[in-house]
Chains A and B, each alone.
Chain A
Amino acid sequence: MRLLLVEDHPPLAEALAAGLARGGFAVDCAGSAAEARRSAAGAAYDLVVLDIGLPDGSGLALLAEWRRGDGPPVLLLTARGELHDRVAGLDTGADDYLVKPVEIPELLARCRAVLRRPGARTGPALSEGPLMLDTATRNATLHGERLPLARREIGVLGQLLRRSGRVVPRAQLEQAVYGFDEVVGPNALEAAVSRLRKVLEAADAPLTVVTVRGVGWMLAPAGEAGKRP
């Protein structure tokens, strides 16, 4: 996976590039909008991590330029965390938005999540740690062992894996898992999520499905609370 990091602060660019490289990306750095423009024109990137505040212009302007053509997916990384900044970034066409400071595992997870989006240049496999889902064969495996999951549970897992570590709203999950003509009971989704959680638990997976009642579900590290790497 080839990634372009556009960041004008040298120590931060160097530290982020090192972290992304450890995460398996081939990283190119650009310190200005002009440099980023040249790099993007010269090579095909799978993903761009873009700072908004650049010395020679706004990252948002660059993003808007790329969005007019067939640009790569963009993850905005910025010091501006206000609601209207986030909305402006996503409205301009960013695939995701992260506020500095960010820890490398979180950045890597977001990068992978953007690459997992439908239409992104990615293979058919979704994975998070030892958990893997082949979207072509619809087989889920943990450490290579097949998990006994039904069709809907595979659908739920696919959606949760695409946004791993973040909450997937209920409506989005419903839409993705059920067809339009399917008659769905009021608790069908809860039942599917609950079975998926039990299967993960039975297989001793390091991941579990966390319920945010009234909002949605997310795939998150299992086990004792507070044990964050």
Chain B
Amino acid sequence: MTASTNSLGRLLARRLALIALAVALVNLTAVALRYASQPEELARSALQRQVESLAAGIAGDGAGLRIAADRRAPFDAHPSDYAFVLVDAAGATVASANSDLLPLQRAWLQDGAAIDADLTHAGRRLRVAARAIDHDGESLRLVVGMTGDPDRWLLRALLDELATHVALPLVPVVLLLIGTSATLVRRAMAPVMAAAAWARALHPGAANPAPPTGGTVPDEVADLVDALGRALERLESALSAERRRSAEAAHALRTPLAVLAARIDALPPGPATDALARDIRALTRTVQQLLSAATADIAAPGTTAIDLADIAAGVAAQLAPFAHVQGATLSLHADPRGAAARAAPAAVELALGNLVENAVLHGGRAITIEAGPSPLLRVRDDGPSLPAGHEQAIFEPFQRGPQAAPGGAGLGLSIVRRAMASQDGAVEARNPPQGGAEFSLRFRAAAD
């Protein structure tokens, strides 16, 4: 499976995250609603937090008890809003802040009970929490009160409640869900991925790898693999029929041409005989191209590394007599760094041979084949340049350029393109600055 945004794993993770978000929202609303309907609960919670904070800040023993400065700080900072009183078992005040805000009531100091009160004192609403505190075995009572809330105790209490009731329980569950589902999906999709990798490696007409099988492949995937295998078989048989037909056509066409070519020799020499010989040569070339065109794109891609310079030398040697007759010279320049590629030699020969023939027939006098640097072959000629803007159109079958050689069928470059495509390669044409035309064949690198 690729890391595309549409992979099933990612899709599921996104959905789960959305569900988690929705659950969190519902939870948040519930908590918020609860506190909105019971505001005294929130005040109690806020004061309880202050009690706990102060209790943790008690230091010293006996009569020397005091509260750490940082715990007292909010009280000292807001003398008209917050207050506390710490009372020992005997009822004596041990520590306090802004105690004038807190009219101590007897009930608040009774042993053991946790008391929350909501009253009006000096014209302001006062909320109080009185708690029993145990410090080194000594029973103390702590009373905390608030008349205003400049330090936002209520808000902090609310956020704290939300974190405790929403975030803490949800986050680990969501993470766990996403993690396990991703793992499960990956595991469940493994056979599909294996089948996809197998299908990608298939090439009609080539030796194909065996389909993925085994006990772990689910029936649904096995069915898909089976269906693909059958489709491939049908394609294979169609292809082999096509190849057989091409071979039959080759024989059927070449033999009568051979009779013609042989009979020409018996004719008395003269302009008519020469013209006939030229016509037969052109017809021969067209037949050859039609046959090549029929098989060019079903060549199996090469599986071994080859030396492009070797093949180029063979093509140059094969076409040199033809080029000489046409008044052209061939030369081969092999890059000293080598010209390795991964391709089927027959397809390379077909592509390069057609390019060289094309260069000769289009009026090139000096034609250079460059082998390398890997994995490139180039054919450069000094003939007329390619028609501007037609660099792609010339690769279409039966497309004949304005300077096309007489008698050509316009198949040469389309054969080149198809032969290259069969090898996962590409052909490019351009007009080099020094004039003429240049074709480049790019193959798969040998290391691929």
What is the interface of chain A, defined by CB distance below 8 A to chain B? 9, 11-12, 15-16, 18-19, 22, 53, 79-84, 99-105, 107, 165-167, 169, 210-216, 218, 220-221, 224-226, 228-229
For the complex, give the distance between the alpha carbons of A66 and B325 in Å.
36
A105 touches B262 (CB 8 A): no
Partner of B280, one of A99, A101, A107, A226: A101
A212 touches B330 (CB 8 A): yes
* Min C-beta distance of A226 to chain B, whole Å: 6
For the complex, give the distance between the alpha carbons of A229 and B250 in Å.
27
Q: Which residue of A lies closest to B247 (CB)?
A: A80
For the complex, give the distance between the alpha carbons of A83 and B259 in Å.
23
B250 touches A80 (CB 8 A): yes
A210 touches B329 (CB 8 A): yes
Chain A positions within 8 Å of B259 at CB level:
9, 11-12, 15, 101
Contacts A/B (CB < 8 Å), 12 sampled: A12-B259, A12-B262, A16-B258, A16-B262, A18-B266, A84-B346, A100-B255, A104-B264, A166-B317, A213-B333, A220-B321, A225-B324
B250 touches A79 (CB 8 A): yes
Please give me the 8 A-B residue pairs with the lowest Cβ-Cβ distance, nearest first: A225-B327, A214-B332, A213-B331, A104-B265, A15-B262, A101-B258, A167-B317, A100-B258
Q: Which residue of A lies closest to B264 (CB)?
A: A103
Q: Which residue of A lies closest to B255 (CB)?
A: A9
Q: Which residue of A lies closest to B309 (CB)?
A: A214
* Min C-beta distance of B309 to chain A, whole Å: 9
Partner of B254, one of A79, A82, A83, A167: A79
Is there a chain A Cβ closer than 8 Å to B260's Cβ?
yes
A166 touches B331 (CB 8 A): no
* Min C-beta distance of A160 to chain B, whole Å: 13
For the complex, give the distance between the alpha carbons of A216 and B312 in Å.
13
User: Which residues from 286 to 345 on chain B have a C-beta closer than 8 Å to any C-beta of chain A?
Assistant: 288, 313, 316-317, 320-321, 324-334, 345
B333 touches A214 (CB 8 A): yes
* Min C-beta distance of B48 to chain A, whole Å: 91
Is there a chain A Cβ closer than 8 Å to B196's Cβ?
no
A82 with B346: in contact, given A19-B262, A22-B266, A101-B257 (CB under 8 Å)? yes
Is there a chain A Cβ closer than 8 Å to B27's Cβ?
no
B 103-136 binary contact with A (CB < 8 Å = 1; else 0): 0000000000000000000000000000000000
For the complex, give the distance between the alpha carbons of A215 and B345 in Å.
18
For the complex, give the distance between the alpha carbons of A84 and B247 in Å.
13
Chain B positions within 8 Å of A221 at CB level:
324
Partner of A214, one of B261, B324, B334: B334
A104 with B262: in contact, given A79-B255, A166-B321, A218-B320 (CB under 8 Å)? yes
B325 touches A225 (CB 8 A): yes
**Interface residues contributed by chain B, number (CB under 8 Å):** 40
* Min C-beta distance of A12 to chain B, whole Å: 5
B266 touches A83 (CB 8 A): no
Q: A83-B349, A102-B261, A213-B329 are in contact. List 10 more A-B contacts (CB 8 A).
A: A11-B259, A15-B263, A80-B247, A81-B250, A100-B254, A103-B262, A169-B313, A210-B320, A215-B331, A215-B332
A22 with B258: in contact, given A101-B280, A210-B320, A210-B324 (CB under 8 Å)? no
Is there a chain A Cβ closer than 8 Å to B245's Cβ?
no
Chain B positions within 8 Å of A211 at CB level:
329, 331
* Min C-beta distance of A129 to chain B, whole Å: 15
Most buried by A among B261, B264, B317, B346: B261
Chain A positions within 8 Å of B251 at CB level:
53, 79-80
B265 touches A105 (CB 8 A): yes
For the complex, give the distance between the alpha carbons of A73 and B284 in Å.
28
Q: Which residue of A lies closest to B249 (CB)?
A: A79
Most buried by A among B250, B255, B265: B265
Chain A positions within 8 Å of B325 at CB level:
225-226, 228
User: Which residues from 425 to 445 on chain B have a C-beta closer than 8 Å to any C-beta of chain A?
Assistant: none
For the complex, give the distance between the alpha carbons of A19 and B261 in Å.
10
Partner of A212, one of B247, B288, B320: B320
Is there a chain A Cβ closer than 8 Å to B269's Cβ?
yes
For the complex, give the distance between the alpha carbons of A107 and B329 in Å.
23
For the complex, give the distance between the alpha carbons of A15 and B263 in Å.
6
For the complex, give the distance between the alpha carbons of A15 and B345 in Å.
35
Most buried by A among B255, B262, B288, B331: B262
B327 touches A167 (CB 8 A): no
Is there a chain A Cβ closer than 8 Å to B182's Cβ?
no
